[in-house]
Chains A and B, each alone.
Chain A
Amino acid sequence: MDPKLGAIEPGQTCPICGNSIRACPGHFGHIELALPVVNVLFVKNIYELLRATCNKCGRIKIAPQDAERYIRYLKRLKDRYPYLARRFSEYVKKQAIKASKCPHCGAEQPKIKLEKPTTFVEYYEERKAMIRLNPLIIRSRLERIPNEDLEILGYDSKDSRPEWMVFTVLPVPPTSIRPSILIETGIRSEDDLTHKLVDIIRTNERLREHIVSGAPQIIIDDLWELLQYHVTTYLDNEVPGLPPAKHRSGRPLKTLVQRLKGKEGRFRGNLSGKRVDYSARTVISPDPYLSINEVGIPIDVAKTLTVPERVTDLNIDELRRHILNGPEKWPGANYIVTQDGRRIDLRYVKDRKSIAESLAPGYIVERHLKDGDIVIFNRQPSLHRMSMMGHVVKVLPGRTFRLHLAVCPPYNADFDGDEMNLHVPQTEEARAEARYLLKVQYNILTPRYGGIIIGGIQDYISGAYMLTIKSTLLTREEVMELLASSGIVKEPLEPAILSPKRLWIGKQIVSMFLPEDFDYQGRANISSGPLKCEDIECFWDSFVLVRKGKLLLGVIDKKIIGAEQQESLLYWLAKEYGIEFTTKFIDHIFRMFIKILEKRGFTLKLDDVAIDMATKSNMYSLLNESFKRVEELVQKYVEGTLEVVPGRSLEESLEIKILEVLAEARDRAGEEAVSNLNPFNHAFIMARTGARGNVLNLTQMAATLGQMTVRGERIWRGYMGRTLPHFKKNDLGPIARGFVVNSFFNGLSVTEMFMHAAGGREGLVDTAVRTSQSGYMQRRLINALQDLYVEYDYTVRDSTGSIIQFIYGEDGADPSKTPYTTIINVDRIVGKVIGWGR
C-alpha cells in the first residue's frame, strides 16, 4: 500500500500531513483512466441531457425566444417556490426531449436509447442505422452543453458540469477507509474496495498497453467494456442487468453504494442508530411486589453499569464507601475521574484505602447502579413513546430484569423469553428528564386517546372479580391477611355480617382503598348477554356503583380496572386524584388481588370445558340439522334452483350460504355448551371478566372448532376435486371442506387436524407479512412527521415554520388530557355537581 494514502500502522508518520495514525485523516490518490467510463450513478442524468440537447451543437432543443422566457420565469420561481421551479424544469426538459429537430442548427435528432446499465445507442430511423455512443462521444457531447441551457434544465453549472458524470480520472480513497485485516495465520485479507481497485488498475493498464501497441479496435473495445464493468461495480455492486462482482468464495463484494444503503448501511446502521455504552439487555420476568415505577436489576448488571457522581461535602463519605468496595463488590465503583481529568481504573488500584482518602470535592466517581437511580427501560419494537419509560432501580439477586405486570401492556411484553434493554442516563439533565417526564407513572394515560394504558391484566382481573363477588365472605383473619399483603395498616370497617360470625365482603375491602369522596358508576365487563345491566337496578351485580368512596354495587373486572379501557374506575381515579395517588393505588390494591387468588387457588382444568352427555347430544343434533341444510343447499345448487346472491356467481353464492349456515351452527353449538357450564368455572370466569380468553375460545374447547378457512373460503385446494384422499371427489359437504366437528376437549380426527393446520398456517403467514408491511409504513410516517411541532399559537408547524395545521387537531386539545373523543365529559360533571341519575 502506498504510504502517501495515509498512516495506517501505529508509530508510522504520514509523509503527507506528518501526523501519526491517530491524527492522520488519510489522503486520496487517483487513477488516470486510459479511456473515460460512464459513472453508473448518473446514467439517468446523462440519458436525460443527451436527449434534451442537440447532438450537433449541444444546445437545449428549445426555440431561443422561448428559452429566454423560460429562464426569466424560472428565476422568479426559484426565489419563491423552489419546489415549483424543480417541477418547471422537469416540464421544460420533457418539451426539449420531444423535439425531433434542433431549433438552433436545424439538425435532425436521432432517437437515443439507454441499454441498461451504461450503454447508450443512437437510432437513425430513416437510414435504419444504429450507432453505439462510447463514453468519449458522450463526454464530448456533454461538454458542448452551454451553462445557460443547463440552468433551464435545473443543473447548477458552477457545482456540477455534466461532463463530470463521465470519469477520466478515478479517485482512490485512503487506506483508512478500506483497511486490510490480519488473520491469525499471518495472511493479510484486503477490503472489498481494495480488491475492486486492483481489478480497475489491472484492466486499465492492459487497456493502456493495447492502445500504445496499436491493437485492433475489437480488443480495445472489449477491454474498455471490462473497465466500465469494474468501475460500475466498484461504485454499485447491485446494478440491475449486471452480474455482481464476486469474491473468490462466491460472496458478492460490498462496494461503495452497499456501504451506505439499507438498514445495516452507514446511515441507518451507524449514524441514525448506533450501539451505545451504559446499556444492558437480558430476559425479563415478572415481580408483582415491585412498584410499577421500579425495575429489578441483577447485581451483575448493577456492577457493570455506572453513574458518574460528582463528589461534594454531602456525599463524600458514601462515595468513599463505594470506592472501598471496589469494582467487585456491590455497591462499589469502577472508575474515579480526578479534577485534572485523569481516569483511575479501580480494577488496577492495589490500595483502595489511600485512594478513598485522597478523594476530594470536585472528583467524579463512576459508582455502581444502586436502588433509587433512574434508568430508561425499553422493549422493541419501539412503536410509541411508552416503549421507553423511566424506571427506578431496585437491585435484586438473579439474572433477569424484573418488572411489574401492570406495565406489560405499554411495552407489549410477556415472559415467554422476551428480552428488554436498559439505558443509564449519564448527565444530570438526562436524569431529571427521565425522572420527571419519562417515569412510568407519567405514562399511565396514553397520549394516543387519553385512556389508561397501565392497569390490570389477567390474574389481577380474575382476582378482583373473585374478591368482589357477592359470595366472597371473609373472616377477620382473612381480611387482615389481605390488607397486610397490600401493605395497608388500617382497622377494617364494620363487618357486613355480624351474626352468627363477623364476616366482611370483598367490596368493603376494596372501598378501603378508594378516596372518601370518589363517585363512579359504569357497567362491568360481565354485563353482557343474560347478565346485562344498564343501571343500578341490577340483579346480576354487573353494574358498578361507587358513592363517597364506597363500592356499593357490582363486581370489579376488566372494564373497571383493566388496561386500555375507556372511562374506567381507574381512569377517573387517575384524572381526579392524580398520578401519584393512582400509582400507589395500583401498587397496593393489585397485590391484594393476587393474594386472594393465592389463598383460594385459581387454575384452569380439563373439567372446566367438559360438557355432559345431554348437552353433547343436543349440540350434535344442532350440528346435524345444519349439515342437513348444507346438504339441501348443495342439492339446490346441483339442480340449479339455488338463489344467486346479487353480484356473485352461482358457486360463490353456494359458498357464502354454506359459510353462513355453518357459522351459525358453531355459534349455536357454542351457546348450548357454554350455557351449560358452571358459572363459577374458572375458564368461564376468565372469559366473562375479560381476564383471558373469550367465548369463542370456550366454544372451541368445549363444543366445536367450527369451519376452518383459508382466505375467507372453505378449504378446497389439494387434489383434483378434493382436499384429501379421504374424501370422495367433488364432495361439497361440511366435513370434506374443513368443518371441524370435534372440540379441543374431544380431540381432532386426522382429517380435521389437517384442516385446522391449514387454517392456522394462514394466521402465521398473515402476522409475519402484516408486521413487516406495517413496520415500513410506520417508518415512512415517522420520517414524514418527526419534525412537526405545536407552536405557542396552537398551530402545527414544520421545521421551516410553515403551517401544517391551523389549530392542532382542529380543536387544540391534548388527547392525553381529554376523555375519549371529547374535550370534557359533561355527564360526569353534572353528576358530580347536582347528583347522579337525574
Chain B
Amino acid sequence: MVSKKKSSSIDVKILEHELVPKHVIVDIDEGIKILKQYGIKPEQLPWLRASDPVARAIGAKPGDIVKIVRKSPTGGEVIVYRYVVPG
C-alpha cells in the first residue's frame, strides 16, 4: 500500500503560514459530541485525506476528526470539522 513518507520540515512550516487556518485533532469525547450534535455518522462529515499536508503536519490518522477554525468574510470566525480518511 501507500508507503508513509517521512514528514519533512515543510510539513511543520506550513502550519505557520497565514493562509493555513488552525487545525486541531479533537479527542474522542468531543468527536462523539459533534457527531451527536449533527446526528450523523463520521463519514458524513467533509473528508480530509491523511495525506493532506496539514493532516500530516499535525499527525492526524484515519478515523480522527479535525477541528478547523478559520476566518470567513461573512461569518467572522467559523468552526468546521473534517473526518480524516485513508489516502
Interface residues of A (CB under 8 A from B): 73, 77, 80-81, 84, 87, 793, 795, 800-804, 806-807, 809-813, 821
Contacts and interface: CB of A to CB of B under 8 A. Distances in A.
Given A73-B1, A84-B86, A84-B87, A803 B75 contact: no
Interface in B34-79: 38, 40, 43-46, 72, 74-76, 78-79
Contacts of B76: 811
B26 interface: no
A803 B46 CA distance: 6
A813 B74 contact: yes
Q: Interface SS of chain A: helix, strand, loop or mixed?
A: loop
B80 interface: yes
B48 to A, nearest CB: 13
B15 interface: no
A450 to B, nearest CB: 13
A806 B79 contact: yes
A822 to B, nearest CB: 9
Nearest to B80: A806
5 closest residue pairs by CB, A with B: A810-B75, A811-B75, A802-B44, A810-B72, A811-B74
Given A81-B43, A803-B40, A804-B46, A809 B87 contact: no
Nearest to B76: A811
Interface residues of B, number: 18
Given A87-B87, A803-B45, A809 B74 contact: yes
A801 B78 contact: no
A485 B40 CA distance: 61
16 contacts: A73-B1, A77-B86, A80-B43, A81-B43, A81-B86, A84-B86, A801-B44, A802-B43, A802-B46, A803-B38, A803-B40, A803-B44, A807-B75, A810-B74, A810-B75, A811-B72
Residue from A84, A87, A793 whose CB has the most chain B CB atoms within 10 Å:
A84
Interface of B: 1, 38, 40, 43-46, 72, 74-76, 78-81, 85-87
B78 to A, nearest CB: 5
Contacts of B74: 809-811, 813, 821
Nearest to A821: B74
Nearest to B68: A806
A569 to B, nearest CB: 26
Contacts of B75: 807, 809-812
Given A81-B43, A81-B85, A806-B80, 4 more contacts: A87-B87, A802-B46, A806-B78, A809-B74
Contacts of A87: 87
Contacts of A80: 43
Contacts of B44: 800-803
A813 to B, nearest CB: 7
A280 to B, nearest CB: 42
A497 to B, nearest CB: 51
A804 B44 CA distance: 9
Nearest to B49: A84
Contacts of B1: 73
Contacts of B46: 802-804
B78 A807 contact: yes
A801 B38 CA distance: 10
Nearest to B79: A806
Given A81-B85, A84-B85, A803-B45, A810 B40 contact: no
B40 A802 contact: yes
Contacts of A807: 75, 78
A806 B46 CA distance: 10
Contacts of B80: 806
A800 B46 CA distance: 13
